[in-house]
Amino acid sequence: MGFEKITPWQEHEFWLGILKDHAYFIRDYLSPTEDKWVKHAEYYIEWFGNVEEEMKKVPRNLPPSASEMIQLSEWAQDVSYQYYTFEGHLLHLRLFNQVNLNLSPSYLNGTLAENREYLRILKSYMKGNEYQSLSLVNLLDLWLDDQRGHAALLIDILDSAEIDLIERARALMVQFSQFMVKNDMFKGYLHFTQPGFPAQIRFAEDVSIQVVAFTKLVEEVLQMYVKDEVLNNSTLRFLEHHFPEACYFMKKLSYYAPFIHYPDCKLTKPTLRNNTTA
C-alpha cells in the first residue's frame, strides 16, 4: 500500500519527538555521577519540549514558505544543531572511555546520523523551500542501520532468560545487516544504471517485509512489557521509540515502492496518541 506524503508540520512533529527521545536516552543511560552531562541532557529535553509547544501553535497545513513555518524551522535548527554537537562530544568521550555512559559508539553514531538528516531538511525549510528527498539507496543506508541498531538494542534490553525473543531479534538483526551489505552493492550498480531498476525495487519490498516482521516483534514485547510479563532492563519510552521511526521509514520507502507491505501507522509513539505518560 502507499502512503500520503509527509507534510512539513509532520516532519517537525516526527523529528522533534525523535531527538527529544534521544536526549531522554542519554539522560537515562548516564551514570548519576555524570552530573554535568545529565544536566545538559535535561536542558535539551526541556528545549525540545519548548519547540514542540511552539509547533503546536502553528497551523498544520502551512507550506514551508509560510513565515510561521520558517520561524519554527529556525527554532528547530538551533536546538537540533546544538544537541548534535553535544551528542557528538559524548561520542568522542565514549570512544576514549572518558564518560560513564551505558550506550555504545555505534548507537551514538546512528542517532547522530538521524540528527544530520533533520538538519539537512531544516536547511531547506529555513529558506522556505521543500527539501530534496533522499535517493532510495541513501534512504536505505540511513534507516537499515537504524533497524539493525534497534534489533541489537532489543537483544541488549532483554533478560538473558528470554532466549526465544532474543533469538528472534538476533535473526532480524542478521537480516538487516545482510540488507546493508546488499544496499552497498547497489551503490556500485548505480554508476552505470539509473535508480529504480526492477531488482532494486524488489529489494525495497523485501526490506519492507522484514521491517513489518520486526515491528510485530517489538509490538509483542511492548504488550508483554505493559503487562509486566517480560524480563528486561528497558523503559516504555525506549521500546516505543521504534514505532515512529519504522513508520517514517516505510512512508519514505513507499515513494519508491508504492505497494510495500506495511500497515497504516503513525509518526508519534502510542502513549502520546493515548495521552498517557511515556
Same structural domain for residues 99 and 232? no
Instruction: Please report which confidence band the pLDDT of residue 276 belongs to, taking 50, 70 and 90 as the band edges.
Output: very low
- For 50-84, the pLDDT digits (tens) are 999 999 999 999 999 999 999 999 999 999 999 99
Same structural domain for residues 103 and 146? no
Write the CA distances from 221 to 193, 195, 208, integer angstroms: 42, 37, 20
Same structural domain for residues 76 and 185? no
Same structural domain for residues 5 and 59? yes
Same structural domain for residues 140 and 263? yes
Same structural domain for residues 273 and 150? yes
Task: Choose one of 101, 132, 163: the last residue of a domain.
Answer: 132
The sign of the CA dihedral 111, 117, 119, 121 is: negative
Same structural domain for residues 163 and 236? yes
- For 96-151, the pLDDT digits (tens) are 999 999 999 999 999 999 999 999 999 999 999 999 999 999 999 999 999 999 99
Instruction: Write the CATH number for 215.
Output: 1.20.1260.120
Query: Is the pLDDT assigned to residue 153 strictly greater than 90?
Result: yes
Instruction: Please report which confidence band the pLDDT of residue 277 belongs to, taking 50, 70 and 90 as the band edges.
Output: very low
Taking the C-alpha atoms of residue 80 and residue 116, their distance in angstroms, rounded to an integer, is 9
In the chain, the amino acid numbered 110 is: G
Strand-pair partners of 232:
158
Residues 32-51 have a mean pLDDT of 98
Task: Choose one of 132, 147, 171: the last residue of a domain.
Answer: 132
Same structural domain for residues 92 and 184? no
Same structural domain for residues 65 and 153? no
Instruction: Please report which confidence band the pLDDT of residue 258 belongs to, taking 50, 70 and 90 as the band edges.
Output: confident
Same structural domain for residues 30 and 108? yes
Query: Is the pLDDT assigned to residue 262 strictly greater than 90?
Result: no
pLDDT score of 274: 41
Half-sphere exposure of 54 toward its Cβ, with a 13 Å CA cutoff? 18
C-alpha cell at 262: 506495511
Q: What percentage of the chain reaches a pLDDT higher than 70?
A: 96
Same structural domain for residues 25 and 63? yes
Average pLDDT value over all residues in the chain:
94
- For 205-236, the pLDDT digits (tens) are 999 999 999 999 999 999 999 999 999 999 99
Q: What is the pTM assigned to this prediction?
A: 0.94
Alpha helices per DSSP H over the chain: 8-29, 35-56, 67-95, 105-125, 136-157, 163-189, 198-226, 236-240, 242-253, 270-273
Same structural domain for residues 117 and 219? no
Taking the C-alpha atoms of residue 183 and residue 142, their distance in angstroms, rounded to an integer, is 11
Q: Whole domain around residue 239: which residue ranges?
A: 133-277
Residues 114, 18 contacting (CB under 8 angstroms): yes
Closest-CA residue to 170 (of 192, 190, 187, 155)? 155
Residues 100, 33 contacting (CB under 8 angstroms): yes
Task: Choose one of 132, 150, 178: the last residue of a domain.
Answer: 132
Taking the C-alpha atoms of residue 262 and residue 200, their distance in angstroms, rounded to an integer, is 18
Domain count, the chain: 2
